[in-house]
Structure 1
C-alpha cells in the first residue's frame, strides 16, 4: 500500500502550520526575556538563573509528563499546555506595565516550563499519530525547518520590536501565538494510540478499575489515589528501563546528559557576548540569533537526505564536532561577523543531531510507550542542565566569555571522540534494533 505524501495529510499540514506560528512567538521570548532581565539587572548570572529555574520545572514535569501523554488524549494535552502558557506569558506585560518586578519572571518561567515540557513530550508522540512510520524523519525535518525559519525571523523581529516598543511587547506577541496554536489544534485529529492488550489491562489495573465484563467498577478512593501516584512513578521507570535496555539509546542518553549540561545556557551567553562583550545593539543581538535559526533551518531541510547518505552515526558525530568548533570560534573572536558565523554553525549542528536523535527514538519505540520513553529521555539528559546553565553564565559574568567557552568547546570535542567507541557510530541502528523484553509495567 502506497504511503500518501505529507502534503496531502490535512491534519499534519494544519499541525505544521500552527506550530510554526507558535515557534515564531517562542523565538520572540527567546530574545525578549533575557533582555528584560539584562535591562533590569545587567547580570549574566541572573539570566542564567532564569534559564535554570525553567530547566528545573522541565525536569520535574518529565517525571510524569510521559505517562500523561501515553494515557490521556494527546490533542487535549497540547491544547491545555498552550492555553496555560497563553495566560502565563500574558501576565508579564500586564505586571510590567503596573510595576516591573523580576520575581514575576521567575514565577512565570517556572510555571510555564511545566507546560512547555508537557507540550514538548506530547508533541513528539503526536507526530507518530499524524504520519506513517516511514515518514517520521521527513515530518520532523519539515517541522524543524519551519520552526527554524521562525527562529530566523523571530529574533530579528523581536530585537526590532524590543528596541522600538520594549521587551514586553515581544512577550505579548509570544502569548498571542499560543492562542493561535490552540485554535489550530482544535480542528485536527490524531490517530488513536496503539496499545497492546496487555498494556490496556495493566493501565486499567493501575487506574484502579477492572478491564473486562465488569469494567467501570471502582475501587476505594484512597486505593485509587495511591495507584494513581504509583502509575506516574512507574511510567517514568518504564521509560527509563526501555532506554537502558537499548545500547544505542542508553549511550545517547548518557552523552546528551553531558552536552545538555554544557549547552542549556549557550543562548544566554551568546546574547551577553554580543551585547556586552562586543558592544552591539539589541537589533544586532536579534540578527545574530536569527543566523543561528538559519543554521537550524538549513540542517532541518537537509537532515533526511544527509541521514540517508551518511547514516545516523556520521551525522551525529559530525554535528557535535561542528558545535564544538563553533563554540571555540565564539570564544576566540572579537568580530561580530565571526560571532554570527559561529551562531550559524552551532544552530546547524544542534539541529542535525537533535532531529536524528528524536527520529531514531520515534522509529524504535512502540507507540504506547513513546510518551514515557521521550519523557524519561528528556528528564534524564536534562537533569544537570539547570546547574550547567547557572554555572556557565556565572563564570561568564565573573571572568568573561572566552575561558568558559573554550572549556565547553574542548569537552564537546572530547565527547565526540568518546562516541566513536560506542553504538552511536552505527550507520542505521534502527535496522538492528532488538526490541527490549516487555516490562510488566508497560
Structure 2
C-alpha cells in the first residue's frame, strides 16, 4: 500500500468514534479492565483485614502474579487456535463465577485464604487470555490506517483504569467488604454482553481445525517466528532492560520519600501525578507515532528522554518536582507502548497474534522480579539518591546501545508492515 493509497483509505474509512464494533469492544474491555483493577487492589486489603497476617497477604498477592509467568505462552497458543470472541466470553463467564463466589462468601461472613488465593490466580489467568484475544481482535475490527489510533485508545484505557480502579477498589472495600467483588462481577457481565453485540469476526478464516496435541509445538512456532524477527527480538531485549530499571526506580522513589521524612501520602501524590502523565502519553501516542517515522527513532528518543528525566529526579527532593518528572517518564512510556503495540500487531500474521503478544508480555513481566531484587540490593547498599543516579546512567547507556545496535536497524517500513497485514 503506497502512502497515497493509505491516505485515500483513511479518508474513506469512518472515524473510530463511528465504528460501532470497535466502540463496543473498547467500552466492554474498559469495564473489564476497571473491574480487574478494582478487585486486584481489594485482595490484599481483604486478606489483611480477615487474618492480620502479612504472610497470608503475600501468598494471595503472589497467586495473582503467577499467571504472568506460567500462563502467557500457553494462553497465546490457545487464543490463536480458538475463536477469539468465544475465548473472551469464556473468560468473562469464568471471572463472574470466581469473583462472585468471593462476594457471596464475604456477604455470608465466611472466607479462607486458600479460596481467595485460588480466585486471585483464576481471575489473573483469565485476564491474560482476555487481553491476548482482545489485542488480536482489534486488527480485525478497524482499518489498517486507524490501527495506531485504536491501540492508542486501548493504552489510554489501561492507564485510566489504573488511575480510577485503585482508589475505587479502596473506597468500595471500605464501604463493604463484598462490594469490590460485586462490582467486578457486574463489570465482567456488561463486558460479556458487549461482546455478543459485535457483528464482525474477531479473526481471519482459519484453514483447518487445530490438533489438540500440538499445543507445545504451536507455542514453539510462535517463539521461532519472533526469534527470526531481528528488530522485534532486539526491541524486546531493550524493553526487558528498561523494565528492570523502572522496577528499581519505583522502589527508589519509596525510599526517597521516606529518607526525606515526608508522610507516606506524599508517595500517593507522586505516583498519581505520574499516572496522569501516562494517560496523557497514551492519548497522544497515536499522533506521535504517525509523525515520527521509525520505531528505532522512538526507542532512542525514549531512552534519552528517560535518562534526562531520571537524572533530574536525582537532583531534586521536591515532591511536586518528583511527581512532574515521574509524569514525564510515564508519558514517554505510554507513547512507546502504543508504538510497540502498533508495530507488533502490524507485522505479526493474524494466526500468530496471540503467541507473539504472549511471548512479548512474558519478556516484559519476566524481568520485573529481577528489577525488584536488584533494586533492593542497590538501595540497601547505597541508598535512594545514588541508586536513582545509577539508573539514569544505565538508561543513557541503553540509549547509546539502541543507537549502535545493528539489529535495531532492521525494522520494517510502514509500507512493508501494511503489505504484511494484507497478505
TM-score, normalising length: structure 2: 0.79
Shift of 1:306: 1.1
The residue that corresponds to 1:304 in the other structure is: 286
Aligned equivalent of 2:86, options 76, 95, 104: 76
Judge which range, 7-16 or 23-32, deviates more.
Answer: 23-32
Task: Give deviations 1:108-134, integer Å, cap 9, x for gaps.
Answer: 333322212111111110111211222
CA shift, 1:385, in A, is 3.1
| Structure 1 residue 416, shift from structure 2 partner | 2.4
Unaligned 5+ segments in structure 2 are 1-8
| Deviation of 1:256 (Å) | 2.1
Matches of 1:338 and 1:316, distance apart in 2: 25
Alpha-carbon distance in 2 for matches of 1:432, 1:402: 45
In 1, Cα distance between equivalents of 2:248 and 2:60: 10
Distance 2:194 2:362 in 1: 28
Change (3 A) 1:150 1:305: same
Matches within 5 A, 1:370-409: 370-389=353-372, 392=375, 406-409=389-392
Look up the match of 1:258.
Answer: 241
Q: Which residue is equivalent to 2:263?
A: 279
Report 1:219-238 matches (<5 A): 228-229=212-213, 231-238=214-221
Is the aligned partner of 1:119 residue 2:103?
no
- Verify: 1:293 aligned to 2:275, yes or no: yes
The answer to whether residue 346 in structure 2 is matched with residue 363 in structure 1 is yes
Judge conservation of contact 2:136–2:203 (CA < 8 Å) in 1: no
* Cα pair 1:48 1:394 within 8 Å, conserved: no
SS of alignment partner, residue 144 of structure 1: helix
2:163 maps to 152
* Uncovered stretches (5+) of structure 1, i.e. residues with no partner: 208-227, 437-442
Give the deviation of 1:64 after TM superposition. Answer: 1.4
CA shift at 1:274, angstroms?
6.3
For residues 74-115 of structure 1, what are the alpha-carbon distances to aligned partners after superposition, in whole Å with 9 as ceiling and x for unaligned? 011112222323333445555567467666554433332221
Distance 1:172 1:402, change over 3 A: farther
- Structure 2 counterpart SS, 1:358: helix
Distance in 1, matches of 2:371 and 2:348, equals 29
Cα distance change, pair 151–323 in 1 and its aligned pair in 2 (3 A): farther
In structure 2, distance between residues paired with 1:193 and 1:365: 13
CA distance in 2, matches of 1:29, 1:330: 32
Q: Residues 14 and 56 (structure 1 numbering): CA distance in 2 closer, same or farther, change over 3 Å? A: same
CA contact (8 A) 1:265 1:392 kept: yes
Q: Distance in 2 between matches of 1:134 and 1:157?
A: 36
Q: Could you say which residue in structure 2 is the equivalent of 1:188? A: 198
Q: Secondary structure of 1:382's partner?
A: helix
Counterparts of residues 12-23 of structure 1 (less than 5 Å): 12-23=22-33
Residue 74 (structure 2) aligns with: 64
Instruction: Give TM-score scaled by structure 1 length.
Output: 0.76
Cα offsets for 1:216-270 (capped at 9, x unmatched): xxxxxxxxxxxx23x2111211111111111111111222233334446876876
Q: 1:433 to 1:139 in 2, by over 3 A?
A: closer
- Give the 3-state SS of the residue equivalent to 1:420 in structure 2: helix
Q: 1:139 aligns with which of 141, 146, 150?
A: 150
Q: Post-superposition shift, 1:345?
A: 2.2
TM-fit CA distance, 1:365: 1.4
> For residues 328-365 of structure 1, what are the alpha-carbon distances to aligned partners after superposition, in whole Å with 9 as ceiling and x for unaligned?
56677544323432442232122111111111011111
- Count of aligned pairs between the two proteins: 405
Distance 1:142 1:160, change over 3 A: same
Match of 2:175 in 1: 165
| In 1: Cα distance, 2:164 partner to 2:58 partner | 24
The 3 A distance-change label for structure 1 pair 355 and 41 is farther
Structure 1 stretch displaced more, 87-96 or 55-64: 87-96
> How many angstroms apart in 1 are the aligned matches of 2:242 and 2:47?
25
Contact conserved, 1:52 with 1:389, CA < 8 A, in 2? no
